[in-house]
């Protein structure tokens, strides 16, 4: 079988940030790396689950909602995938920054966390999700489209 693109990235060189993983026609996959791969510290499942609910809710209600394909966690627990259609990279960065601000300051009931709405509704941690977002705010503050390229 062919190796997939993400296995071609040297994970020892990765640092937290936002990177272009692949472009398939008009769909771009971004990797939003939140912790160092293989660094011993990973996203806690309950916090990442809550972050996912807030991330997906925010981007799907943003001014770019029609261009959102998917926002969800990486199995390695180091970040999130963010797939968009026909979106300028600067807009994608702006939207992810705004999402971090939204999550970091979120108060109230997390959307989609009842038994009827969620397949693991007891596994949530709002304070942990806010901590994830706060850790990414300074990382992405000055991020530019030129920085979206993975280091080789």
Q: Which residues of the chain have pLDDT under 50?
A: none
In the chain, % of residues over pLDDT 70: 99
Taking the C-alpha atoms of residue 11 and residue 27, their distance in angstroms, rounded to an integer, is 23
The whole-number pLDDT of residue 126 equals 98
The whole-number pLDDT of residue 39 equals 92
The whole-number pLDDT of residue 122 equals 97
For residue 46, count other CB atoms closer than 10 A to its CB.
17
Taking the C-alpha atoms of residue 2 and residue 85, their distance in angstroms, rounded to an integer, is 25
Model pLDDT for residues 80-108, shown as the tens digit of each residue: 999 999 999 999 999 999 999 999 999 99
Token duo for residue 59: 């981007």
The whole-number pLDDT of residue 95 equals 98
């Amino acid at each position: 079988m062919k190796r997939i693109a993400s296995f071609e990235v040297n994970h020892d060189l990765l640092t937290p940030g936002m990177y272009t993983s692949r472009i398939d026609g008009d769909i771009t996959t971004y990797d939003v790396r939140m912790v160092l791969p293989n660094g011993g510290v990973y996203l806690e499942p309950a916090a990442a689950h809550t972050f996912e609910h807030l991330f997906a809710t925010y981007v799907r209600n943003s001014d770019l909602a029609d261009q959102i394909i998917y926002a969800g966690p990486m199995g390695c627990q180091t970040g999130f995938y963010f797939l968009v259609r026909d979106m300028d990279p600067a807009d994608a960065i702006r939207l992810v920054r705004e999402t971090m601000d939204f999550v970091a300051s979120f108060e109230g009931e997390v959307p989609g966390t009842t038994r009827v709405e969620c397949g693991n509704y007891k596994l949530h941690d709002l304070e942990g999700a806010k901590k994830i977002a706060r850790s990414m705010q300074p990382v992405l503050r000055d991020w530019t489209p030129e920085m979206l390229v993975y280091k080789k």
